[in-house]
Amino acid sequence: MRDEQCVRFLQWALPQLHMRWRGYRKVRRQVCKRVDRRIQELGLVGFEAYRSWLDENDDEWQHLDACCRITISRFYRDRAVFDALADHVLPVLADAASRRGDTLLRIWSAGCGCGEEPYTLAVIWRNELRHRFPGMDVEIVATDADPNVLRRARAGRYESGSLKELPERLRERAFYRDDDAYRIKPEYRRGVRFLEQDIREGQPDGCFDLVLCRNLVFTYFDDYWQREFLRRIAGTMHDGAALVLGAHEHLPDDVSGLRAWFEKHAIYRRESGVHGPAG
């Protein structure tokens, strides 16, 4: 009965936050637990009472928004995507950067959570690609709206379950044991910068060669924010730069300026001479 009440509540509340119930359906219990704790903090009884509280207190929507942040991640999550990045995408982007005369390949990891994604990219570059591009280095800007997960990202300490998809040879090279956990080595932290930033409110300074926005905007946000995000990142991407979505995500219909590069991995490329995706 409690779950049914929470479902009804989320189906009412999420659209008002420009979010989609469909994206939250499978992870709703994580959100419901947070909302239930918030209800208890306020001394209310039930979701209907909380709905009335929201109607009467506009500031409370910020608390609800924070309850809706999903932070599920692992190193090398969706391995085929990272294999495509290592084998094809990053070498092409590094070649293009070299031809421009750049010595830095710039990457933006949006919604980075506890840092697994940006650190995975650093591990791939240092072990698989750096020797092929001796004059090139990478700068990874990782953003998230949640200060708690960013603290964990900066600490760089992970339980073994977070590394279960990372190839063993890379784990041995990039991590050392820290009691019952693993900590990423200092050399893989260099060039990775974490910023507290809500993707709806801004983006880091461009230009980027690669942008990863996986399992965030195109899962949880509505069509308005999907198109708005695409419009914003267009100004931060080089011609020919790549955008990576989650493995089961898709761009909105009728979006121009981005073409499928590795469609089965949801990797798109910005077309040259196009000022930005538009719908």
Predicted confidence (pLDDT) per residue in 37-94, tens digit = 999 999 999 999 999 999 999 999 999 999 999 888 899 999 999 999 999 999 999 9
Among 253, 230, 221, which residue's Cα sits nearest to residue 145?
221
Q: What percent of the chain has pLDDT over 70?
A: 97
State pLDDT tens for residues 11-48.
999 999 999 999 999 999 999 999 999 999 999 999 99
Residue 278 reports pLDDT greater than 50: no
pLDDT value, residue 255: 82
Average pLDDT along the chain: 93
Is residue 214 over pLDDT 80?
yes
Which position has the token pair 């918030």?
38
Query: What's the pLDDT at 156?
Result: 96
Rounded Cα distance between 94 and 83, Å, is: 16
Q: Which two tokens stand for residue 145?
A: 């709206």
Q: What is the mean pLDDT of residues 169-196?
A: 95
CA distance linking residue 198 with residue 18, whole number of Å:
14
Residue 108 confidence (pLDDT) above 50: yes
Kindly report the backbone phi and psi dihedral angles of residue 57, in degrees, each rounded to the nearest multiple of 5, phi listed first. Answer: -135, 95
Mean of pLDDT values over 156-179:
94
Q: Which pLDDT score, from 0 to 100, does residue 277 have? A: 53
Angstrom CA distances, 63 to 60, 142, 253, stand at 5, 23, 32
Structure tokens at 188: 């893989």
Q: Within 13 Å and on the Cβ side, how many CA atoms surround 146? A: 19
Q: pLDDT confidence of 273, banded at 50, 70, 90?
A: low
Query: Within a 13 Å sphere around the CA of 268, how many CA atoms are in the beta-carbon half?
Result: 26
Model confidence pTM above 0.85? yes
Cα–Cα distance for residue pair 270/276, rounded to 1 Å: 8
**Torsions phi, psi for 42 (to 5 deg):** -80, -5
